[in-house]
Structure formats: structure tokens, C-alpha cells
Structure 1
């Protein structure tokens, strides 16, 4: 009897949470109290009128595959972008690593490309991750890409003053560091 009552209570609680928006498979929704954010907003950068997502980010340069780059957030929200090149079909891993990253940082990781002949990376997401890495850090475990130049974007909605390290790794294919 007690077990049936517990199951009934749990089912009712889940139904109420779902009906009130407490359970979601979508992007994280912003929640805040006066002057303080308790949940960061980790949406991709806004699509610019130019159609090139690079225009909505702070470009920090190219990173080799394999390789890494480290920087620090200075405002909220902020979108840092890094390009990388793969020659031929390659499978890569992108990760905001625990090593070299400030504690209690929540990041989003977004992948665009390849770069088009006109220089644009477009605005179509090829891969995205919020919290698959260590804690609330981001990791795209494996993505197969055709040869070309791609743009990785790291964001944080609450990372002012916090540093992060983006690591790129080649899992398969022809990932050759660019001189």
C-alpha cells in the first residue's frame, strides 16, 4: 500500500512539474532573482544580418588540431570564436577542459562551418553541447567533418573574470597542424 502511494505521489509530482515547465528537453531557460543569475543562458550567438556567425563573436585566432588555446571571459554574455582546419575527412573532439579552466564555470560550445568561398562560416550549427564535459563544461565528443576551416564558439552567461581552455583533438582522419 505504501509503495503504491509513493508511486502515485511521484507520478503526480512529475505531471505537475511537466505542466508547469519544470521538465524540459530544450535549451536552458534563464532564471534569476534581483541582480543575480542562478542559471546561465547558453544559447548560440545571435545570427547577424551578414549571415556570417563570425560577426557575432570575438575572434581569437586559429587553433591547431590537436592543440589548445586559453583565454578569459570579460563580459556577459560573451562569445569567443576559434577557427581550425582539417584536411580531408576527419573526426575531431572539442572540449573546454577542466585543466586550465576556472572553477564553477558553465560553458556552451558551438560548431559552425566549413568556411565558404566568400569567407563566411554561415549560421548553421553543425554541433552543439552544453554540459557533457567536466561539471558544467562543454564537450563535443566526436564530430566527423569534411576538409575545410571550421569555427568553434565558446560562450558563458556568467563567466566574467573566469578563464577557460579549449582543447582540440584528432580522433581519426587527416588532422594536420597548420604551420
Structure 2
């Protein structure tokens, strides 16, 4: 059975974007990106909300010849994976291996976990919150950046309580800290 993993890059005060919608402070350096790529390599499917999908679809058309080695590696990983986008407004996908689904369906995600040979990630705090509330998330991977942004979009969902068990941690030279938690259902 595949694991469903929520992964987020956040500020130290827990935001994935600041109050203006910016997240330029979250760009991983080469060391962090190499680590992220190793975590992403076994992923077979990405679950996205519309906004996260619109951010991530950059990797579909990125000119790999102009990218640094870590970004080039990530591009290949991302392009090989399937994508499921939950959106009521998108009519058709603009990336390969992508399907649009109108509503989040916990039973369908549970079925995907049971039948998938590869792990699955859920991208975006709102969608992750729905998956957590449904008891579907197995792990949380948080990359905390050494910056406080003061306000913005929270990395973790409101009104969802789950117990976590710390499985791993890692400190990077640039001050980023990785925390890996198991969700205790």
C-alpha cells in the first residue's frame, strides 16, 4: 500500500506564502533541492488543488538546458509522475499525465493508496487539510526556512487535529530544517 505524504516548504512561523502571495524566500538551495529530489523520486502521483497545480506546471515546459542540475533532476521526476488536480474551474489539463477531478473524494484517494505501487503526495494546505481530516495522510514532510514572514497562507490546515510522531530530522547548512512526521490515526 502506498503512503500519502504531505510535503511543504514553510517559513519558521508556519506559512507557505506571505500575505502578498510571495514565496520567493522558500526557494531551496542546491543542498536542500538534492534532498527534496531524493524524497520525490519514489512518488508516482501528485495530488494538487488548482492553485498548486498552476504553480507546479512550470516544470512541464521548463527548458532543462537552462536549469541547474538539481532543477533539471526535479523536472524529470515531476514529468514522469501522474498528476490529479482537484478543480471546479479547470476544464482540461495543460500538462501530460494529468487528470482533472471536480471534487476531492476520500474513497477514491483511499483506493488509489491501496492500488498504487508508488507513494503519493498531496500538495497545498487546503487539499492536505481535507486529506488529513479524512484520515488519509500517512506522513508530513516539513521544510522550515530561517525566515519569519508574519502572515500569509498557513502550511498546516486549520480545524484539523492529528497526533504526530517525529520520524526524522535534518539540518541543512543554509539554516533550513527538515522534519518528517508520521500521522498517528
State the TM-score bracket (shorter-chain normalisation).
under 0.3
Question: What TM-score results when the alignment is normalised by the length of structure 1?
Answer: 0.23
Question: What TM-score results when the alignment is normalised by the length of structure 2?
Answer: 0.23
Q: Which has the higher contact order (CA 8 A, sep 6+)?
A: 2
Flag the structure with higher strand content: 1
Rg larger in 1 or in 2?
1
Flag the structure with higher helix content: 2
